Structure 1
């Protein structure tokens, strides 16, 4: 075989690997995946919004605060106790799949993940009072802590199946899983509380619906597994761990710092709110409940960004493995600009409706949450953009810079909260979190540029658009309109969307004469 033939064969192999053809898992296209995610998310997040509203209506603000802390702990502890190992799936599944070694890779990752999850649950089972103080600032009924432990196990299982399907670019199945989990918990949680159920049962309802939502993903994995490529070389387990562990360690540090950063404002409110502390736990829990009400809608941005980032990562990894670095930068730029514009418009519309939402749906009980809503939209939008943009650093295996940026943001958040909370109350907490998220965003942007990402005026638009809601919703709408008119990247993004729509719905066009 000539060198040219070998090169052509290698190129064809890479292209086949990138597209997912020739295996039992035909990859969904990125554009189609984004459309599906958007459509499913609209319904899912609408139900999630009403779920949050009804949770606030059916529980007093102190219990809402306890639910917020319990759910936040489940989110925080899960990636930390797993040492970042299952987080390597989106980056390395394509690498081992193309070599026919995916089964060997997954057996080791799955076994390690299961052992770490069981160890974490056993520690919670043995020390319920300590975890009660850690999560709620006061000892709790051991049954509630055990329920939280079950919630941790359920989310570990769900995330593993979800990440594996996402890594194989089975976007439709990932969307179905996320939809089932969100809708199932929304219906089950509201039904439980409406019939007089308590917090422990609510956590167990979350666990049950989360496990049930893995069913479609398990079905897809079983069907597609028989078509996987056969290994052409022996599997080198020590080599695998040498490559995986540095990535997992950086991801673990990022998850630890990131989740502590995300939860730090609530812990600071719990401890530093005027009147909180020893004997005043209910004051801090009520303040967390008010804070939670103001984050119900903005937090939907983070949920959507998590979905989009998880879907985008395997496509970026496939492009990177095939040497198409420019495609990675182009895709990321378009996604970031589109997400920033959409989130700004959604925030603007919500702010216009917010007096009715808080006055009617929340019965006027969460005025403090209403007052912090504009700043919450800004810092949640910035955090969502970081969540998507950091994929560039992870695909380039430079994720340590994400941890550095988050560490600086965490220190800033704690220091600013400790200074502003006693002086300004909840407004001080939100201002501190807003500033800290801005610091993290700038840090990640600088790290991306240092690692080869080309930052132009589009990056400026991406960062500034969400902040315009602080000047009022109509100012924000005007800013998005100006960017859509003047930005070449936005026009290209819109043109590609129109072309995709024409391709997908060409059968609706009248036949030519």
Structure 2
């Protein structure tokens, strides 16, 4: 919670202290790092969660780490060298400005330390040392915030300060965890003889390449609209980056809903996986159905609060600097709700161990996003890009539900109604508030949205939480209070 609060406060100050064009430079640089880091190393660290513990139990941990580290950092060196050698061309690709070679050089250096940090995160996550990973994220977030705001204030108020601070935060965190590991690591050699490279690499790379494809689709899905604005809109380079900056400002609060969806996925997955392994497939389907009905309605209510606060946010907090961002904010809000629901709906195929099925909705949504942007962006500008992304995200969500149904999930009719409800956010409070009222009536007094079985399940869950509530335990055990 502290880390997310720091990130939100950092984002607010970025929007206040940077102009829209500089904010667009940072948004494009960060999107490129998000895309390039796993792409450069062929997704290899993504396989650690599955294979690292196995090699540790087999007594070959150090062999695994030596080989994967050599491969990862060798590929990273090639990627960084390529960026430096062709920095003008990459600057044109990323920023739409081939003359931004200094900024591209900073991005190349930043990519190296981002890959290092991602590698270390994957190692500790693979070893089930999740507290270490959490501390790494926290330290990097704090260092990034402190460094970026200091550099913007006292060095230069542009994206270069933010890029340098982001890389410095990753580097300091990585060096810190390496120093900690040097004192904690066991010096004993592997207990088992090493495998030949022919035995070692094929199964690892088959899994890693599929992780790479999935990550590529996910990351492209997240950034493709920004690249469409830079390269396919009827803007000059400066205007395009300013539009990206406005887009970034419009997503400042809505992205918190995506974070909530991620937390929900993290909380649900262990319980759903347990039910799945116990053979209770119907229970998994029922719980996910109920979640996918209630979560959009809860986020719709949260979205209404955000819409009511937008005049204060854009007018006072952001000093009226992002008029285009304010205009598209309702559509950005709807997009973030649908994207959060897409993340939640993917949980079913993870539980079914059919993770490849999550790639097809992303691929279809990506193609839809490109096609819609080509049509809407030249005609509607930034609003066209945001509407295209919203529709593409809804398409991906709908296809994921269809995939889940094909795998075995029961999809009730009420889910489709609840899934479409975020569309009301695009019309502002005039459409959101009446729909919220209608949804409340529908949930409480009819079975159209939530049927009788789901209401019983919801009541059972609520009673379980109330039974574990602190005030209830005190009531049942008065001696504790005395």
Give the TM-score, by structure 2 length: 0.81
Matching of residues 81-92 of structure 1 within 5 Å = 81-92=40-51
Q: Which residue of 2 aligns with 1:270?
A: 230
Q: Which residue of 2 aligns with 1:178?
A: 137
Match of 2:220 among 239, 242, 260: 260
Q: How far off its partner does 1:203 sit?
A: 0.5
Q: How far off its partner does 1:49 sit?
A: 2.2
Aligned counterparts of 1:345 and 1:91: Cα–Cα separation in 2: 39
> Does residue 129 in structure 1 map to residue 85 in structure 2?
no
Q: What secondary structure is seen at the aligned counterpart in 1 of 2:42?
A: coil
Q: Which residue of 1 aligns with 2:346?
A: 390
Matching of residues 78-477 of structure 1 within 5 Å = 78-93=37-52, 103-197=62-156, 198-214=158-174, 238=198, 241-274=201-234, 276=235, 280-303=236-259, 305=261, 315=270, 319=274, 326=281, 340=296, 343-394=299-350, 396-456=352-412, 459-460=415-416, 463-470=419-426, 472=429, 473-475=432-434
Aligned counterparts of 1:96 and 1:210: Cα–Cα separation in 2: 28
Aligned counterparts of 2:203 and 2:352: Cα–Cα separation in 1: 13
CA contact (8 A) 1:100 1:231 kept: yes
Q: What secondary structure is seen at the aligned counterpart in 1 of 2:369?
A: helix
CA contact (8 A) 2:257 2:336 kept: yes
List gaps (5 residues or longer) in structure 1. Answer: 1-39
Q: How far off its partner does 1:433 sit?
A: 0.7
Q: Which residue of 2 aligns with 1:36?
A: none
Aligned counterparts of 1:184 and 1:408: Cα–Cα separation in 2: 38
Q: Which residue of 1 aligns with 2:447?
A: none
Q: How far off its partner does 1:381 sit?
A: 2.1
Matching of residues 496-507 of structure 1 within 5 Å = 496-498=464-466, 501-502=469-470
Aligned counterparts of 2:417 and 2:198: Cα–Cα separation in 1: 45
1:339–1:150 CA distance, 2 compared to 1 (3 A) = farther
CA contact (8 A) 1:165 1:217 kept: no
- Cα deviations by residue, 1:84-111 (Å, 9 ceiling, x for unpaired): 2211233445555565655554444333
Q: Which residue of 2 aligns with 1:8?
A: none
Q: How far off its partner does 1:294 sit?
A: 0.8
Aligned counterparts of 2:38 and 2:310: Cα–Cα separation in 1: 34
- Cα deviations by residue, 1:124-160 (Å, 9 ceiling, x for unpaired): 1211111111111111343321211122222222223
Give the TM-score, by structure 1 length: 0.77
Q: Which residue of 2 aligns with 1:71?
A: 30
Q: Which residue of 2 aligns with 1:31?
A: none
List gaps (5 residues or longer) in structure 2. Answer: 445-449
Aligned counterparts of 2:196 and 2:465: Cα–Cα separation in 1: 43
CA contact (8 A) 2:273 2:351 kept: no
Greater mean deviation of Cα atoms: 368-377 or 137-146 = 137-146
1:395–1:156 CA distance, 2 compared to 1 (3 A) = farther
